[in-house]
Amino acid sequence: MTERIVLAYSGGLDTSVAIGWIGEAAGAEVIAVAVDVGQGGESLETIRQRALGCGAVEAYVADASDEFANEYCVPTLKANALYQGHYPLVSAISRPVIVKHLVKAAREFGATTVAHGCTGKGNDQVRFEVGIQTLGPDLKCIAPVRDLALTRDKAIAFAEEKGLPIETTKKNPYSIDQNVWGRAVETGYLEDIWNAPTKDIYDYTATPEFPPAPDEVTISFEAGVPVAIDGVKVTPLQAIKELNRRAGAQGVGRIDVVEDRLVGIKSREIYEAPGAMALITAHKHLEDITIEREQARFKAIVGQRWAELVYDGQWFSPLKRSLDAFIEDTQKYVSGDIRMTLHGGQAIVNGRRSDTSLYDFSLATYDTGDTFDQSQAKGFIELWGMSAKVASGRDIRVAGK
């Protein structure tokens, strides 16, 4: 029986050419798998037809946009996950859901190998292959660009020679990856890290320098999940889309960073994640009033570690699963409303309310109604500083010898 290979298919030039390229190199039949994670653009049916036109024996398209929002974006939001303090893991969280569908398709169509279009220099190859090893340990992985010498020039020549139904002339100098959680742009002009991004790079966000009138929005959460916007019930997918639109119009969520890739390279990336950044900001502010201090401090550490694990391709790992359990436990009381103003590139919270809040007006107030017993502060401070005071006494003693 001819070997069958499942290919992660985007509909673009490289993966379109990869269908025939792998077929020839490996003498295998190729099944193209396209996954909708809210990237927009062409319809899945158009992509499916192109895959078949390029020689795929089967083309499987999965509408995973709600699955992606519920099971990948929402956990990222609950973790307030920002890799290196900046990056909301746009591409990193899409790989595991794509992997899930690749492995499912491999089972369904009797494939022994999974192929993806990543190069050998990035994080995504790691995320795909570690994910596949975990969910389908019997499956092999190949990357035609990395393993079968499928360069851009060869891809164009191959497409023209075979008359593939794909445009080869449109020259985009950037490498772009996008989904409903955000958009990532790299390479070309941006590789000089002193070069400021030009306006044409952006798509999800408008220029914040010339914003429309301020937009005030109220986001309601239940146990850490966004459930309503301005009082209108929404699914997580709808919440992200609505805020992509409204925060995007105000230029919120533009990020320009040099980040540490897992493979040891520092690389420059431009992100736009208006919905994600507005949601994370609102969610964090709701946590500030609903999560107890020590739990909150520890959660920040857990969230950072969670972001590193996910960035590093460990979505399906035991540690990630354990951290998820901790984070989930912290979300029990993260319910209530956050009001924020979106304007000129910023999402600024200006009101919060929650039935499960820990904010106690009678403890906080400096006006009448104060129930805080200030006389207890003196003794508390004496004991709180005791340990450091004893140590500093020792330091003075030793230095004086």
Is 39 a binder of ligand ARG (CB under 6 A)? Answer: no
23-27: Cβ within 8 A, 24+ apart: 23/55, 25/144, 25/148, 26/113, 26/142, 27/2, 27/3
Q: The tokens 């699963």 sit on which residue? A: 321
Among 10, 16, 123, 290, binds ligand ARG (CB under 6 A): 123
Total residues contacting ligand ARG (rule CB under 6 A)? 11
One-letter amino acid of 325: A
Question: Is position 14 annotated as part of the catalytic site?
Answer: yes
> Smallest gap, in angstroms, from Cβ of residue 190 to ligand ARG?
9
Dihedral, 312, 315, 320, 326 alpha carbons, nearest 10:
120
Judged by CB under 6 A, which stretch of 36-44, 63-71, 175-183, 391-399 contacts ligand ARG? 175-183
Determine which helix (DSSP H) or strand (DSSP E) holds 258, and give its type and residue range. Answer: strand 254-260
Residue 309 lies near ligand ARG (rule: CB under 6 A): no
Binding residue (CB under 6 A) for ligand ARG from 49, 133, 168, 175: 175
Asked if 185 touches ligand ARG (CB under 6 A), the answer is: yes
Among 176-184, 193-201, 214-222, 348-356, the segment contacting ligand ARG (CB under 6 A): 176-184
Please pick, among 10, 16, 124, 268, the residue that the annotation labels catalytic: 124
Residues within window 81-100 making contact with ligand ARG, judged by CB under 6 A: 91-92
Strands of 140-142's sheet in order across: 58-63, 29-36, 4-8, 113-115, 140-142
Candidates 25, 57, 148, 176: give the one binding ligand ARG (CB under 6 A): 176
For ligand ARG, what does the binding mask look like between residues 124 and 143, x meaning CB under 6 A?
x-------------------
Token pair 């956050």 in the structure block, residue: 338
Residue 95 is among the residues annotated as catalytic for this protein: yes
Q: Give the DSSP letter of residue 69.
A: I
User: Do residues 107 and 74 make contact, with C-beta atoms less than 8 angstroms apart?
Assistant: no
Alpha helix (H) residue ranges in 185-317: 236-249, 274-290, 293-311
> Is 16 one of the annotated active-site residues of the chain?
no
Q: To which residue do tokens 């146990």 refer?
A: 223
Which of residues 29, 177, 272, 312 is near ligand ARG by CB under 6 A? Answer: 177
Q: Which of 66, 175, 215, 261 is catalytic?
A: 175
Q: Which is nearer to ligand ARG, 88 or 336 (CB)?
A: 88
186 binds ligand ARG (CB under 6 A): yes
Helix (H, G, I), strand (E, B) or coil at 328: helix
In whole angstroms, how close is the CB of 124 to ligand ARG at the nearest point?
6
> In whole angstroms, how close is the CB of 272 to ligand ARG at the nearest point?
11
Secondary structure of residue 198 in the 3-state scheme = coil
Q: Which residues in 219-278 contact ligand ARG (CB under 6 A)? A: 269
For 282, other C-beta atoms within 10 Å of its C-beta total 25
Are 88 and 247 in contact by the 8 Å Cβ rule? The answer is no
Residue from 16, 50, 65, 95 carrying the catalytic annotation: 95
184 interacts with ligand ARG by CB under 6 A: yes
Return the structure tokens found at 69. Answer: 């929002």
**Tokens describing residue 323:** 């951290």
Contacts to ligand ARG by CB under 6 A: 91-92, 123-124, 175-177, 184-186, 269
Catalytic residues: 14, 95, 124, 175
